[in-house]
Amino acid sequence: MFKFIPNRVALIVLISACSIIFISMGLRQTFGLFFEVFEDGLGVTRTEFGLAIGIQMLFWGIFAPIFGFLADKFGGSKAVLIGFVIFGLGIFTLYAGPNTGIYFQISLGVLVGTALGATAIGVPVSEVGKHFPNETRTLATGYVTAAASVGYFLSPLFTQYSLEGVGWEQTLKYFMYLIVFGLLASFFLFPSKTIIDSSQADRDQTFTSAIKEAFAHKGYILLVLGFFVCGFQITLVGTHVPGYMQDRGMGGWSATIILALIGFFNIFGTLGMGFLGTKYKKKNLLCILYALRAVSICVFIFSPPSLLNSIVFGITFGLLWLSTVPPTNGIVAQIFGTKYLSTLFGIVFLCHQFGAFAGAFLGGYFYDLYGSYDYAWYMAIALSIFATIVHYPIDEARLVRVDKTI
């Protein structure tokens, strides 16, 4: 039986990363619930709302490798702290103004998206990965993504209750308090003193050679392409399920139930996938996961709308939601090592966010063009099939580097 926690610093970093991602990803998950109040209060169309979320996803992706590089170079704590400062600025301008027209896109899109590049997924998960060996890394990162799931579960419930009780401006003020707590947690994201599971050649590798090596590896390219699908699907669901359920005659709480169940059952999905990643090939787990996503979406959109259908979709898609992260991050670390893990996973995540932009924008665009989200759902199903296929040829074997000093 392996020892899970290697040392006290690793435990502190794990708790810190869980707190950070609980706040950042939890808040991110709630923005879809604001579409109606932004329509009424700010005169935002669904295309404009979808565009803002799309920009948010795009800037999240663009800044994930940038903050990943800063984390690898100067420490994850500094990168996350800067991210939460920007996050707070974005939320503040969103409720305090100016917050209409281009300013709406800047606040919700550019600033919040930039902040997510530091505070959500990439940096916290990768910084934890640097403290754990390959045998337990997917389980450790599974705990971090499970913390995001707890945020996914609690945040939509709180947000819907707050929106109905005190309105969207006060709700955004509550978000500011959570951001301050996340900023404090960032101080405990300590760097790893050693590069785990590495040779002298690994430790001597330069940033430029690491990037060239990754893009010359077929498996890395396939992983990048596959993660595009994850971004498209989860952002389509998180952004447009409230509008989709409303169009199908279901009340606002039906969407909240879906988002909350996704968050709750993602806890079990990410922990389960983290554990399975210590036993089985991670690429095979990803193939199975994306195939099951296609099945879940098909059942959801082709079944009559009902509370039961909402519950089934929330549970099944929740089990598959962020379960992609532990094996994806684990494959990157397993192949290339952990020295530049934040950067390399950040680049993979950039493609995830290109998919997220497409899911957010095309969902709103198809709705305004055709009066339906159906074409966006069909794309999500087709992309699941694509992802199932492209992950299978990935070679997970560790790259062996030659020590040039010998």
Residue 406 has pLDDT above 60, yes or no: no
Residue 238 has pLDDT above 50, yes or no: yes
Q: Once rounded to an integer, what is the mean pLDDT over residues 363-388?
A: 92
Cα–Cα distance for residue pair 357/113, rounded to 1 Å: 11
Q: Once rounded to an integer, what is the mean pLDDT over residues 38-45?
A: 83
Return the percentage of the chain with pLDDT > 90, whole number. 39
Cα–Cα distance for residue pair 71/75, rounded to 1 Å: 4
Tell me what pLDDT residue 203 has: 66
> 394: pLDDT confidence band, cut at 50, 70 and 90?
very high
Residue 252 has pLDDT above 70, yes or no: no
* 152 compared with 266, residue with greater pLDDT: 266
Residue 95 has pLDDT above 50, yes or no: yes
The DSSP secondary-structure symbol of 305 reads: P
Tell me what pLDDT residue 133 has: 84
Q: Once rounded to an integer, what is the mean pLDDT over residues 24-53?
A: 84
Least confident of 109-118, 160-169, 293-302: 160-169
> 251: pLDDT confidence band, cut at 50, 70 and 90?
low
> 195: pLDDT confidence band, cut at 50, 70 and 90?
low
Q: Once rounded to an integer, what is the mean pLDDT over residues 105-129?
A: 91
Q: Once rounded to an integer, what is the mean pLDDT over residues 123-151?
A: 86
Q: What is the largest CA-CA distance in the chain?
A: 70
Q: Once rounded to an integer, what is the mean pLDDT over residues 219-246?
A: 90
The verdict on whether omega for the bond into residue 393 sits within 30 degrees of 0, i.e. cis, is no
Q: Once rounded to an integer, what is the mean pLDDT over residues 144-164?
A: 85
Residue 14 has pLDDT above 90, yes or no: yes
Q: Once rounded to an integer, what is the mean pLDDT over residues 115-132?
A: 89
Residue 250 has pLDDT above 70, yes or no: yes
List, in order, residues 6 or more apart from 118 with CB less than 8 Å away: 63, 67, 70, 79, 80, 82, 83, 84, 86
CB 363 within 8 A of CB 240: yes
Residue 74 has pLDDT above 50, yes or no: yes
Tell me what pLDDT residue 1 has: 38
Query: How buried is residue 177: exposed, middle or buried, by Cβ count under 10 Å (0-12/13-18/19+)?
Result: exposed
User: What does each C-alpha distance from 316 to 244, 256, 258, 285, 376 come to in angstroms?
Assistant: 18, 15, 10, 16, 19
Q: Once rounded to an integer, what is the mean pLDDT over residues 276-302?
A: 94
All structural domains of the chain with their residue ranges: 16-187+206-390
Cα–Cα distance for residue pair 275/402, rounded to 1 Å: 32
Report the predicted TM-score, pTM, of the whole model to 2 decimal places: 0.77
* 252 compared with 350, residue with greater pLDDT: 350
Domain 16-187+206-390 superfamily per CATH: MFS general substrate transporter like domains (1.20.1250.20)
Mean pLDDT of the chain: 87
Tell me what pLDDT residue 402 has: 60
